[in-house]
Amino acid sequence: MLTRKQHELLRFIQTKLEETGISPSFEEMKEALDLKSKSGVHRLISALEERGFIRRLPNRARALEVLRQPEDVLRTPQTGQPANSNRPDRPVLAAKAVPEPANDVLEIPLHGRIAAGVPIEALEGQSTLSVPSALLGSGEHYALEVSGDSMIEAGILDGDYALVRRTDTARDGEIVVALVRGEEATLKYLRREDGRVRLDPANAAYEPQVYSPGDVVVQGRLAGILRRYH
């Protein structure tokens, strides 16, 4: 049998996964269970992990997977009543499929700032950014902080984080990170015409930038945007 707090925490984690696809933070778990410190959350999680109700996913921040639920929270689809509580704990899949572990949070490299106006240097750095993996899809990704307003008509604002799938190819009309003349990087729509490469803004106040093909190298395609509200 689980303690009341263990039971409450397990149900809270499962509910958050079903609603958002992301594990709750330790702060959210502390507040939900009305605990005084996060150390209490750590003890509860360790206890649930030791008893096989949850597991922590490696190399992911805030990554918890619910493996099973106590029998008394499983309800029959016909009556909605609790299943026979005398039976042993069964996998949570008997009640509802567990969300895929991929719907959690990944840490990806954060490589400085990138212009959404005049090209500026894209700085390499050691920082990382926590990102819901549902925003990324397959492949290797990195993040760049957007500087400027030339992509506002595409919904990309100054201070946003551009989530970029690393690749050196792109189709016309895709938003890419383009390295210009080996020195500066910019975030723009990519278009090719008359043997030239055109980098188009999404703001009528800015003019397209036109280069020779050898001056532009695609470093990634935009996979998503992450915005923080302060």
User: Can you name the residues that pair with 82 across neighbouring β-strands?
Assistant: 75
61: pLDDT strictly greater than 70? no
What class, spelled out in words, does domain 105-226 have in CATH? mainly beta
Going by pLDDT thresholds of 50, 70 and 90, the confidence category of residue 116 is low
223 versus 19: the higher-pLDDT residue is 223
Q: Which of 24-38, 100-114, 176-190 has the highest mean pLDDT?
A: 176-190
* Percent of the chain whose pLDDT exceeds 90: 30
pLDDT at 62: 59
CB contact at 8 A, 93 and 154: no
Residue ranges of domains in the chain? 4-94, 105-226
Check if CATH label 3.40.1190.20 holds for domain 4-94.
no
Q: Which one, of 54, 74, 73, 77, lies nearest residue 64 by Cα?
A: 54
State how far the Cα of 24 lies from the Cα of 86, in Å rounded to an integer. Answer: 31
- pLDDT per residue as tens digits for the range 75-105: 434 444 444 444 444 444 333 444 444 446 7
229 versus 222: the higher-pLDDT residue is 222
pLDDT at 126: 57
The pTM is what? 0.54
State how far the Cα of 188 lies from the Cα of 170, in Å rounded to an integer. Answer: 12
Mean pLDDT is lowest, of 32-46, 111-125, 134-148, 185-199, for: 111-125
- pLDDT per residue as tens digits for the range 159-210: 999 999 999 999 999 999 999 988 888 999 999 999 999 999 999 999 999 9
Active site residue ranges: 150, 188
pLDDT at 38: 79
Average pLDDT score, the chain: 79
Average pLDDT over residues 9-24: 84
HSE-up of residue 25 (Cα within 13 Å, Cβ side)? 6
Q: Which one, of 230, 225, 229, lies nearest residue 151 by Cα?
A: 225
